[in-house]
Amino acid sequence: MQIDWNSLRFSYTETDYIVRASYHGHRLADGTLEGTWSEPVATRNKILPMHVCATSLQYGQEAFEGLKVFRGIDNKIRVFRWQANAHRMQQSAIGLYMAPVPTELFGKAVELAVRKNKRFIPPYETGATLYLRPLLIGTTPKLGVGPGWDFEFIIIPSPVGPYYKTEGDAIPCQTFIVNRHVDRAAAFGTGRYKVGGNYAASFRGTETAHQQGYDCLFLDSRQHKYIDECSAANFIGIRYGEQTQYITPRSSAILPSITNDSLMTLAKEQGLKVVRRHIRLEEISQMDEAAACGTACVISPIDKVIDPDKNQTYTLPQAPGKVLMGLRKALQDIQYGRAEDKHHWCNIIQ
């Protein structure tokens, strides 16, 4: 099958292989897990037979990740910050009482997934990448409410194109709408973990927004006062000044974005002041630029934020703005091997 790389969107295209590893264990009297992981294996079979009572199916005991593999200007294959994804998945696993996938196993599985699917890594300058979706699911059959002790770790690769529809080279802007009637995550819930339940919980907000032609801006669930997240991405605001500020939410309910973390590092290097704090929704009126950021969308500029409850629309003066677009380029230059990888974020697979 010939793939038209340029017309790919952010959706699933099946590749030759997925990678799998299994954990089988038991729980000790104090609740801790004891067990072992198998070695990762590549398989063409994408079907996973599972007991209908598996804890992932019954009680949502599952976590996932998302990372990208780039074909660089030098034709080399670069995996971006997989160790950070391994670490975040370990945090999600601990949060949901699952067996954390050891970093070494995660790395081996990533490498195997890339090597076995080389023909699905899009060529340089197509705007497409190979997305890897690591998945960790509970497979112990249980009806009683509680965590299981058997898990399956899977890496599902898929070549993907841009998250948001583009026209030519222009980077599209998104309009976000606030929804105070749907919360993505509770203040001390699972928002900081990348678990499926958070996404199912957000559908009512995101789908309602989509039907209106917008994306959903989630506020903190306790007071509906502070910005939490932009659909499935972190929020960044830019305020020009003597020292331009890069402002991003501090919240116990948001996902610690690896893209945001990388951009904060680059922003500091460019002389910006990076500030992580609670951001009141109204503060958008004082911002010069704003964007959603994540692996899938990289940086997606925000042109407006609508608050229907208050009959208020905030318009960002610069959309797209030069600061965030500069950061986007700086990040992509590293990912595509066009700039020095000072922080050793890319792992090259020969």
Q: Which residues bind ligand COI (CB under 6 A)?
A: 66, 232-233, 294-297
Identity of the residue, 149 or 193, whose beta carbon is nearer to ligand COI in the bound complex:
193
Residues 281-300 that bind ligand PLP (CB under 6 A): 294-295
- Which CB, 33 or 297, lies closer to ligand COI? 297
Distances (CA, A) of 248 to 56, 159, 328: 32, 30, 16
Compute the 3-state secondary structure of the chain and give helix, strand, coil in percent, each to the nearest 5: 25, 30, 45
Q: Is 60 in the site for ligand PLP (CB under 6 A)?
A: no
CA 267, 271, 275, 276 torsion-angle sign: positive
Q: Of the two residues 191 and 294, which places its CB atom closer to ligand COI in the complex?
A: 294
For residue 136, which of 214, 74, 52, 48 has the smallest C-alpha distance? 48
258 binds, among ligand COI, ligand PLP, none (CB under 5 to 8 A by kind): ligand PLP
Least gap, CB of 189 to ligand COI (angstroms): 18
Under the binding rule (CB under 6 A), the answer on residue 233 touching ligand PLP is yes
Quote the CA–CA distance of 171 and 321 in Å, as a whole number: 11
319 token code pair: 């959309």
Distance, in Å, from the CA atom of 137 to the CA atom of 22, rounded to the nearest integer, reads 10
Tell me the two tokens of residue 196.
Answer: 């499926």
Smallest distance, Å, CB 295 to ligand PLP? 3
Interface pick for ligand PLP out of 229, 288, 289, 307 (rule CB under 6 A): 229
Decide which of ligand PLP, ligand COI, none touches 25; Cβ closer than 5 to 8 Å per partner kind.
Answer: none
Residues of this chain that bind ligand PLP (CB under 6 A) = 66, 229, 232-234, 255, 257-260, 294-295
